[in-house]
């Protein structure tokens, strides 16, 4: 685990973005943890999250020419990431996002921001069913650009409808890597290093991993 990942976990804990307990997911599963990026809802929080995205993009994502954020959660994420890429890494990276509905006046169209071109990195919070990625790919390819990869805050590393995770499904379907700042393994590693193997939260996560992990 790198220092920026540990710092993000600790900040997420302080902001209640990352919580431990019993949570019912959309799938109906009872999860021992919950990660809600929507609670990164202040200027400082968004700045720190954007810095983590930018660091992960530079160090771990495939080469890219611009960022794309699926509406709606992806919009502040690409904004914060683009600013952090400029401030922290000297990269003046173009960015764009989609509208939910096409605009038939003014500049019109479905895409706002820089024209889609070259290698496009999609930035989102998590991947569930992969629907937003598929919609993003359609827009990117229709503009003559190509998908470079997908960058998310957290990969839960658990089975979807079959034996693979949603991130594995997306990676195979679109032929690109899905990069995550944090994963289930990262969270478990943090708990073990900070609190030891006897931590009841870690034990609960291990049971969950054994049942649903990939």
Query: Which residues lie closer than 8 Å to 201 by C-beta, 6 or more apart?
Result: 20, 32, 33, 191, 195
Which one of the listed residues 103, 159, 174, 195 is annotated catalytic? 103
Going by pLDDT thresholds of 50, 70 and 90, the confidence category of residue 133 is confident
pLDDT of 130: 66
| Residue 103 in this model has a pLDDT that exceeds 70 | no
pLDDT of 28: 87
What dihedral do alpha carbons 113, 115, 119, 121 form, nearest 10°? 20
103 is catalytic: yes
CATH architecture assignment, domain 41-212? 3-Layer(aba) Sandwich (3.40)
pTM: 0.92
Quick: pLDDT tens for 20-50.
999 998 888 899 999 999 999 999 999 999 9
Angle 74-89/43-59 helices, nearest 10 degrees? 70
Quick: pLDDT tens for 153-191.
999 999 887 888 889 989 999 999 999 999 999 999 999
Q: Quick check: 99 and 70 in contact, CB under 8 A?
A: no
Half-sphere exposure of 41 (CA within 13 A, CB side): 7
Which one of the listed residues 105, 159, 193, 195 is annotated catalytic? 105
- CA 56 – CA 30 distance, rounded (Å): 29
Task: For residue 147, give Cα distances in angstroms to 105, 119, 153.
Answer: 28, 6, 18
Domain boundaries, the chain: 41-212
159 is catalytic: no
Going by pLDDT thresholds of 50, 70 and 90, the confidence category of residue 87 is very high
């Amino acid at each position: 685990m790198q220092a920026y990942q540990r710092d993000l976990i600790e900040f997420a804990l302080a902001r209640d973005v990352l919580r431990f307990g019993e949570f019912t997911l959309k799938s109906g599963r009872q999860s021992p943890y919950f990660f809600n990026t929507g609670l990164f809802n202040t200027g400082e929080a968004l700045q720190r999250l954007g810095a983590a995205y930018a660091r992960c993009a530079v160090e771990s994502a495939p080469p890219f020419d611009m960022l794309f954020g699926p509406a709606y959660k992806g919009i502040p994420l690409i904004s914060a990431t683009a600013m952090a890429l400029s401030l922290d890494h000297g990269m003046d990276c173009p960015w764009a996002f989609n509208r939910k509905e096409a605009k038939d006046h003014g500049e019109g169209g479905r895409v706002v921001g820089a024209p889609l071109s070259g290698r496009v990195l999609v930035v989102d919070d998590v991947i569930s069913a992969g629907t937003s990625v598929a919609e993003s790919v359609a827009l990117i390819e229709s503009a003559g650009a190509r998908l470079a990869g997908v960058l998310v805050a957290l990969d839960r590393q658990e089975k979807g409808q079959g034996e693979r995770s949603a991130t594995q499904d997306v990676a195979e379907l679109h032929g690109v890597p899905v990069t995550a700042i944090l994963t289930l393994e990262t969270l478990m590693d943090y708990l073990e290093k900070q609190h030891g193997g006897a931590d009841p939260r870690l034990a609960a996560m291990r049971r969950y991993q054994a049942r649903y992990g990939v």
